[in-house]
Amino acid sequence: MGIAVRQPAPRNASIRTAPIRTSAGLVEAGLAEASALPVLEQVAASFAVSVTDQMAGLIDPTDPNDPVARQFIPAGEELRTTPGELADPIGDGPHSPVKGIVHRYRDRVLLKAVNVCPVYCRFCFRREMVGPGSETLDGAELDAGLAYIAEHEEVWEVILTGGDPLILSPRRLAEIVTRLDAIPHIGIVRFHTRVPVVDPDRVTPELVAALKGKRIASWLMLHANHWRELNDTARSAIARLVDAGIPLLSQTVLLKGVNDDAETLTRTFRALVQARVKPHYLHQGDLAKGTSHFRTTIQRGRALMRELRGDVSGLCQPTYVLDIPGGHGKVPLTADYLAPDGEGGWTVTDPRGGRHAYSEE
């Protein structure tokens, strides 16, 4: 698109650069104005800040609307809370029978082994639960979580989330996967992560090997919101996972000012597919506190999905979903293409609005 951005310099993966974790650090790095420091510090007092050098290197500091900066650099709008916003917008709490476990759907559970991330997204639905100093499961708590999973034979899939599970060491990840592998009724372990995009040097051969069990299948759900995140370094990290036989899906959040136009979504989903990642979910923004400036309307999201449906490869089509507040689960928000015609048949609407009679006889 002709946007000049600073590319992260080639690095030795054994020499890691610490993320920027303070408002003053953002100013020092040229990612925020010094005049904004008092407001940034107010935001940081409530919601954690962390920007990896990978993401910092993709930001154009001369662009006030930079889509990468908007995701990770705190802003004064976060201090504004609307009446419908919630501390736990998708209702993890009521479905947490054991610390670190969320059992919302019958055949799968979340296992939140860690509550820290390499970066903190400004729109995160768990933004009040994650960050430096947040609790990580200790040995006894992990044992209790795994015991719950073992006792519930209806559970077929375990989703490691948090926080970002790939921030754990390969040794710790391998231990968790091995213990899940030993539970006969578990068929899949899924990892929800930003790491291959925001901190790709973590995706070492040792980490990749740690994700794979002997019996259960390992899947990875990558969170990416903009095609700019998928640069050469990120694609190389993704390739290390795919080449090892780990299938990758993606989830994207529909964000005002970041990706809420058909061109950006198209470029993002095409970039993911080219990297061998199948777009799976496009999330309507959750009602997390201080995130109203990111949320589009559902009407807007449905219109964008209709635009994509007409002219973009089916491989690039995620399901547009809403996670219903209160812990009631996800539902698709896709447009209704089918309606009864009143005579025993159907009227089908094509992606461009044309209506067509259809009979099943």
Catalytic residue among 21, 99, 108, 276: 108
Instruction: Please indicate whether residue 289 is annotated as part of the active site.
Output: no
Provide mean pLDDT across the span 250-257. Answer: 98
Parallel/antiparallel/unpaired status of strands 346-349 and 338-340? antiparallel
What percent of the chain lies above the pLDDT cut of 90? Answer: 77
Catalytic residue among 66, 92, 121, 127: 121
Q: Which has the closest alpha carbon to 262: 298, 319, 311?
A: 311
Q: Indicate the annotated binding residues.
A: 117, 121, 124
Query: Measured between alpha carbons, how far is 171 from 5 in angstroms, rounded to an integer?
Result: 36
Instruction: Please indicate whether residue 21 is annotated as part of the active site.
Output: no
Q: Indicate whether 16 pLDDT > 80.
A: no
Q: List C-alpha distances in Å: 55 to 31, 67, 86, 327, 335.
A: 11, 11, 28, 32, 34
Contact 337, 331 (CB under 8 A): no
Instruction: Please indicate whether residue 320 is annotated as part of the active site.
Output: no
Instruction: Please indicate whether residue 235 is annotated as part of the active site.
Output: no
Q: Indicate whether 14 pLDDT > 50.
A: no
Contact 269, 234 (CB under 8 A): no
Query: Measured between alpha carbons, how far is 3 from 221 in angstroms, rounded to an integer?
Result: 28
Instruction: Please indicate whether residue 295 is annotated as part of the active site.
Output: no
Q: What is the pLDDT of residues 286-333, one digit of tens each?
A: 999 999 999 999 999 999 999 998 789 999 999 999 998 888 888 899
Instruction: Please indicate whether residue 80 is annotated as part of the active site.
Output: no
Query: Measured between alpha carbons, how far is 113 from 239 in angstroms, rounded to an integer?
Result: 25
Q: Indicate the annotated binding residues for [4Fe-4S] cluster.
A: 117, 121, 124
Query: Measured between alpha carbons, how far is 70 from 80 in angstroms, rounded to an integer?
Result: 16
Q: What is the pLDDT of residues 147-163, one digit of tens each?
A: 999 999 999 999 999 89
Catalytic residue among 66, 120, 124, 127: 124
- Please, how many CA atoms are within 13 Å of residue 52, restricted to the half-sphere of its CB? 23
Catalytic residue among 126, 127, 190, 306: 126
Q: What is the pLDDT of residues 48-94, one digit of tens each?
A: 999 999 999 999 989 999 999 999 999 999 999 998 888 988 889 99
Residues 6+ apart with CB under 8 A from 45: none
The residue extents of the domains of the chain are 23-79, 93-332
Q: Indicate whether 11 pLDDT > 70.
A: no
Catalytic residue among 240, 276, 300, 330: 330
Q: Indicate whether 238 pLDDT > 70.
A: yes
Query: Measured between alpha carbons, how far is 132 from 46 in angstroms, rounded to an integer?
Result: 12
Instruction: Please indicate whether residue 281 is annotated as part of the active site.
Output: no
CATH superfamily of 93-332: Aldolase class I (3.20.20.70)
Instruction: Please indicate whether residue 124 is annotated as part of the active site.
Output: yes
Instruction: Please indicate whether residue 164 is annotated as part of the active site.
Output: no
Catalytic residue among 53, 66, 70, 104: 104
Contact 74, 24 (CB under 8 A): no
What pLDDT score does 6 carry?
40
Token digits of residue 115: 């509550």
Residues 6+ apart with CB under 8 A from 322: 283, 284, 298, 330, 331, 333
Instruction: Please indicate whether residue 330 is annotated as part of the active site.
Output: yes
Token digits of residue 261: 């136009």
